[in-house]
Chains A and B, each alone.
Chain A
Amino acid sequence: MSSFPPSHPVAPETDAPTLLAPVARRSFLRYSSAGLALGGLYLAGCSKDDTTGPSGSGLIDVGTGDTGILNYAYALEQLEAAFYTQVVAGAYYTGTASAAEKAIFSDLKDHEIIHREFFKAAIATGRITDALMPDFSGIDFAQRTTAAGSAKMGVLNAAMAFEDLGVAAYNGAGRFISNVDYLTLAGKIVSVEARHAAVIRELMTTNTFVASDVVDTTTTGLEKSKRPQVVLATANNFLMAGSKLSANNFA
């Protein structure tokens, strides 16, 4: 399954369903899904060696197997820890943040640093770089929420994006984990990320701790998990060139 060529036009989970809306969803699925099934037969001729992604793309690939998923989590935690470290040094936090908001962001920074350091210590071999370079140029650390007319995200908006993405990422990565201990570890972290996400969302808008942008609130009640490649397409917007990531083996 991991031999799914990364260039294949049908991503397993896109988070942009609205792009498909003009096309009748059912007929789209008919051709994409059914076509995909028949496509499977063509893969019969492929050898197992076709798993490597495109090289020379300048992306850091998280790798394969459980180590790959741990690296993936490590990368996201590096990003979150860097973000909150910058939040607590920024003008919003030191200035206008309420006492409750200060306490929350201080905790979030501590939690994410602990997650980062945990993965750094836990991934004994095959670990990706410890020094991913974040690019937070799209975030205004002086603004509580995105200012009207501003091209930059406010602190709460960015925090919400990171936390919701983290939850969707851990949930979507669970299926790729082989070792039950790692699966449980991911579970121990993701529920804390979900607690974070709900707090940040409440700080922005009352009673949005669960809402249709992150949870299917009409048919299943399930969080909208995202596959690694979908998550990284968003996360890479917050990473410098040379620190951007791929997860070619997890489709």
Chain B
Amino acid sequence: MDLFKIIDDIAQVDPEVYDRFNPRRAVFRNFLGFGKKVSAAAIPLAVSTLFTKAYGQTATLPQVVIDTLNLALQLEYLEYYYYDTALNSPGLLTPEQTAAFTIIRNDEKLHISTLRGVLLTAAIADPTRAGYDYTTSQNKTRSPLMPAFATLGGTTSPTTGMFTDNATFLLVGQNFVDTGVRAYKGGAANLITQKDILEAALNIHSVEARHSSRIRSFRRGGIQGATAPKSWITPDETPGALLPNNGVAGAPAMVSPYAAGADATKYPAENNTTQAGLALTTSGIASSTAGAEAFDEPLDAATVKAIAKNFAANPTALFN
């Protein structure tokens, strides 16, 4: 068997074949480990394993992995359409903000494509802009949860309208991105058996945290602003504005991006200062403020869904 010839043949129809075999995707790493145990007679099987690993693996993805990534995907769409609407709302953003949110929207678009590339046919359908109602009116079936949220969409058509208030846009954007950071952090444990997918998710997680840092600096009037909020989450931000849970089973009755999730020990509020049983306030160097700031907290899937459903046009259609 001429492995080089086979790979070259594939390259005729799939120019990306060499990238698929890139060692950073750990295909060869896995293959190496496998190779140790196989005899020459088993080489064809080993090669077939190699190609399976290079070309998608949805058929073998555990359901918990699919669920975790699909929740992440819905959050990415939530954010993508949010920033996209803002960028298409004339007069909403300063030029510096337009540049920043263009970068952020581009990242979310790529995250969507990366997640879809892993999930393949298991991915949810694109909810489109119409799937989301950022005024929190759930497509005019209730009043916006806060009066200011009415500026995040049209009155007659909350699922298509433009945004009109800069401060509200930044505030809700920060809440979205901080929820996303907590969701990826909470979801990482579900991916521990799928090392390449785990690493990709971690590599999205940190990009979301970079976004949060940037949005927070806009909210304090620029990077040289010395007021709140800081670029990291401070304990006085908890619990934040509490939102209804939309009947999500297992979520707390009221939820917020900064409050505790379901199982407050595992998913504490962002003012938590105890890590792995160690109190960060007693080491002599830490204040409760710095101790809380130095660690972000994960959030469970149920609580994330409960928060996000408030921004769905139809809360039964998304974040299930």
Pick the most buried of A115, A121, A198, A206: most chain B CB atoms within 10 A of its CB.
Answer: A198
Query: How big is the B interface, by class?
Result: 35 or more
Segment at the B interface, from A27-35, A55-63, A132-140, A238-246:
A27-35
Pick the most buried of B4, B226, B278, B295: most chain A CB atoms within 10 A of its CB.
Answer: B295
A12 and B211 in contact (CB under 8 A), knowing A185-B275, A225-B203? no
**B3 near A: Cβ within 8 Å?**
yes
0/1 interface trace, chain B 21-43, chain A, CB 8 Å (1 if under): 11110101111111111111001
In the bound complex, do residue A190 and residue B206 qualify as a contact, i.e. CB atoms below 8 Å apart? yes
Which residue of chain A is the closest to B223 with respect to CB atoms? A202
**B7 near A: Cβ within 8 Å?**
yes
In the bound complex, do residue A188 and residue B100 qualify as a contact, i.e. CB atoms below 8 Å apart? no
In the bound complex, do residue A117 and residue B286 qualify as a contact, i.e. CB atoms below 8 Å apart? yes
Partner of B7, one of A25, A30, A177: A30
In the bound complex, do residue B206 and residue A171 qualify as a contact, i.e. CB atoms below 8 Å apart? yes
A37 and B203 in contact (CB under 8 A), knowing A44-B36, A187-B185, A192-B294? no
**B308 near A: Cβ within 8 Å?**
no
In the bound complex, do residue B202 and residue A171 qualify as a contact, i.e. CB atoms below 8 Å apart? yes
**B232 near A: Cβ within 8 Å?**
yes
Nearest-CB distance from A48 to chain B (Å)?
9
Complex: how many Å from CA A113 to CA B206? Answer: 21
In the bound complex, do residue A30 and residue B4 qualify as a contact, i.e. CB atoms below 8 Å apart? yes
**B287 near A: Cβ within 8 Å?**
yes
A210 and B188 in contact (CB under 8 A), knowing A30-B18, A222-B204? no
Which residue of chain A is the closest to B111 with respect to CB atoms? A221
In the bound complex, do residue B203 and residue A43 qualify as a contact, i.e. CB atoms below 8 Å apart? no
Chain A residue contacts of B110, Cβ below 8 A: 216-222
Partner of B286, one of A44, A110, A203: A110
Query: How big is the A interface, by class?
Result: 35 or more
**B290 near A: Cβ within 8 Å?**
yes
In the bound complex, do residue B291 and residue A114 qualify as a contact, i.e. CB atoms below 8 Å apart? yes
Partner of B203, one of A207, A219, A222: A222
In the bound complex, do residue B206 and residue A223 qualify as a contact, i.e. CB atoms below 8 Å apart? yes
Chain A residue contacts of B211, Cβ below 8 A: 198, 209-210
In the bound complex, do residue B285 and residue A117 qualify as a contact, i.e. CB atoms below 8 Å apart? yes
- Tell me the chain B residues, 126-140 only, with Cβ under 8 Å from chain A: none
Interface residues of B (CB under 8 A from A): 3-4, 7-8, 11, 18-19, 21-24, 26, 28-40, 43, 50, 96, 99-100, 103-104, 106-111, 113-114, 181, 184-186, 188-189, 192, 195-196, 198-200, 202-214, 217, 223-226, 230-232, 275-276, 278, 280, 283, 285-287, 290-291, 293-298
Beyond the given A34-B21, A101-B224, A221-B111, please list 15 additional residue pairs across the A-B interface where CB-CB is below 8 A.
Answer: A1-B29, A29-B22, A46-B36, A111-B290, A114-B280, A174-B202, A194-B209, A196-B231, A199-B217, A207-B96, A209-B214, A210-B107, A221-B113, A221-B207, A223-B202
Can you offer 30 A-B residue contacts whose CB atoms are under 8 A? Answer: A26-B11, A30-B18, A33-B18, A34-B4, A34-B21, A36-B28, A44-B37, A44-B39, A103-B226, A107-B232, A110-B290, A110-B293, A111-B290, A113-B285, A171-B202, A181-B276, A183-B192, A184-B185, A184-B189, A188-B296, A188-B298, A192-B296, A194-B210, A197-B210, A202-B214, A209-B100, A215-B107, A216-B110, A217-B110, A221-B107
